Amino acid sequence: MTADDPAYAPTLESPLRVLVLGSAEPSWYTADDTLRQERVVPALTACFARWQEWGADLLATFDDDLLMVGNPRSRDTSFYLLYEVDDLELVTAMLNLPRQELEGVRLDRYFRFEALLGRRFFPAE
């Protein structure tokens, strides 16, 4: 198969673009303010910092809470983080970290994360 074959798939070239989609779980909304501010938010901040330490390059963030309140239902997610990464293994490590205890908190109890893998959209960049 060659690049001019219509069935030819694009190659994965580094860096890859990863869009991390996130939303708060019901336990986030039922947790008291002290728990959220003193334990969960610092753990979330530490998680994002660790991703960058591992080599994920944060390009942009987006939180659509201006026109939505509560647990997202129509889109299932409410915040988005766009990264560039060198390989797929980093993405799997990133999404595994919330399953681990970090700063004494398992973030998967408070947030749901999902990743979309792609590449830059050449007509716009």
Question: pLDDT tens-digit profile of 98-108?
Answer: 999 999 999 99
Alpha-carbon distance 119 to 57, whole Å? Answer: 14
Mean pLDDT of 76-89: 95
pTM score of the predicted model: 0.86
CATH for 16-118? 3.30.70.1060
pLDDT value of residue 10: 72
pLDDT value of residue 122: 84
Encode pLDDT of 4-54 as tens digits. Answer: 777 777 777 899 999 999 999 999 999 999 999 999 999 999 999 999 999
pLDDT value of residue 7: 72
Residue 119 has pLDDT above 80, yes or no: yes
Query: What burial letters (b/e) apply to 68-103, b meaning 16+ CB within 10 Å?
Result: eeeebeeeebbbebbbbbeeeebbebbbebbeeebe
- For residue 62, give the nearest of 23, 112, 34, 9 by alpha carbon: 23
Alpha-carbon distance 19 to 44, whole Å? Answer: 17
Mean pLDDT of 97-118: 97
- For residue 59, give the nearest of 90, 80, 88 by alpha carbon: 80
Residue 1 has pLDDT above 60, yes or no: no
Where along the chain do its domains lie? 16-118
Residue 63 has pLDDT above 80, yes or no: yes
